[in-house]
Amino acid sequence: MNIEKLLNVKATILVTGESGSGKSHWSFSLAQRREKSLNSIMTVDLAALSDNLVESELFGHERGAFTGAFSRRIGLCEQVGSGTLILDEIGELSLESQKKLLTLLERRVFRPVGSNREIRFRGRVIAATNRDLLSMVKKGEFREDLYYRLRVFHNHVPPFRCRTELEKRDIIRLLIIEIMENYKLGDKPIFSLDAKSYLLNYRWSGNIRQLRHTLEFLMVMYPAEKITVDMVKSCEQGDDLEKEVGDLGFNIGKIPYAQVKASFEKSYLIESLRYTGGIINQTAILIGMNKSTLISKIRQYKINVLEFKNIPKMERVAS
């Protein structure tokens, strides 16, 4: 469905599609187009919240409402004001939480945990999921009344493989622009013709998310080089090797020693980089390896050091 047609819609919008197909990006794009400020957009990943935290996250809580509630907390429904609240992974809600969400959408009010006062909800809701909600309704796993309340307007985001070539080219172009801005890359990457063809025709099992990570890796690791089809393909080979070695118990004698050794080395480097937060110099000193050799091996094993940059130190050490 065209975003333009939904800009002035106040009713709830349900966004569906496979994992990684771009549901979150589509939802945020719509919200960004119709809100004056990013402060008017709130996003919550419901799959990341335990059932007892959903209500507090959405509706807030009063001081002393439960153990650990040392102060009053304003929930997202209140913070968003008249803006847009994006509920990602709506299909992961428990039946009890679904009932409370239905009350919010039907009566347009909510009550913070531990409070007797009702607060009017003025925002608009976009809900996204990769699950078949109608099938869940038939199994009793999702409330039918909530399903139809969510599905006032529905947009299904098709997977990358089902897009037209023009749409695929546009998606790749927008992803490149986004990555350039995020990593302050000065020069636009140059892809060979066969590399472009590969990107367009490869069956990305992880959808747009996998495509984005691949482009991100290529652009950061080869900033001043022409990106060839071999460079693109190499990003996929590491996964196949890990699957083979992961099943080693059933493949003794079938996997060459050199391949097993390479898998161990890759895992060792990944854990070392995780520990240092992806800092090349510190990692090289830590493991006693020449910096140039380390960089070479990072490229050889297609390790994306960027994914370790924002991991808190305590989590790095614990892992």
* pLDDT digits 0-9 by tens, 131-153: 999 999 999 999 999 999 999 99
- Residue 48 backbone phi and psi in degrees, to 5: -85, -5
pLDDT at 236: 62
Task: Report the CATH number that the domain containing residue 197 is assigned in CATH.
Answer: 1.10.8.60
CATH code of the domain containing 83:
3.40.50.300
Indicate if 228 and 313 belong to the same structural domain: no
Same-domain check for residues 152 and 176 = no
Count structural domains, the chain: 3
CB 58 within 8 A of CB 12: no
The answer on 66 and 49 residing in a single domain is yes
- Over residues 80-85, the mean pLDDT reads 96
Distance CA 174, CA 166 (A): 12
Position 240 pLDDT exceeds 60? no
pLDDT band at 311 (very low <50, low <70, confident <90, very high): low
Domain boundary among 130, 157, 184: 157
Average pLDDT over residues 182-195: 88
Comparison of pLDDT for 100 and 290, the residue scoring more: 100
- Regarding whether 164 and 153 lie in a shared domain, the answer is no
Q: 199 and 136, same structural domain?
A: no
169 and 277 fall within a common domain:
no
Separation CA 183–CA 172 (nearest Å): 16
- Which of 157, 172, 194 finishes a domain? 157
Query: Residues 234, 302: one domain?
Result: no
Q: State the pLDDT at residue 14.
A: 97
Q: What is the pLDDT of residues 254-272, one digit of tens each?
A: 556 566 677 778 888 888 8
Kindly state whether residues 306 and 199 are assigned to the same domain: no
Contact 87, 44 (CB under 8 A): yes
Of 5-19, 33-47, 238-252, 290-304, which gets the smallest average pLDDT?
A: 238-252
Q: What is the pLDDT of residue 59?
A: 96
Q: Which of 229, 252, 275 is the last residue of a domain?
A: 252
Measured CA angle at 205 (ends 251, 298), to 5 deg: 65
Query: pLDDT class for 69, splitting at 50, 70, 90?
Result: confident
- Domain region containing 18: 3-157
Pairing type for strands 109-110 and 119-120 reads antiparallel
User: At 124, is the pLDDT very low, low, confident or very high (cuts 50, 70, 90)?
Assistant: very high
Do residues 45 and 123 both lie within one domain?
yes
Q: Are residues 148 and 171 in the same domain?
A: no
Q: Beta strands 60-61 and 73-74: pairing type?
A: antiparallel
- Is there a single domain that holds both residue 153 and residue 177? no
For the entire predicted model, the pTM comes to: 0.69
Claim to verify: residue 69 and residue 192 sit in the same structural domain? no
Give dist(CA 18, CA 130) in Å, integer.
5
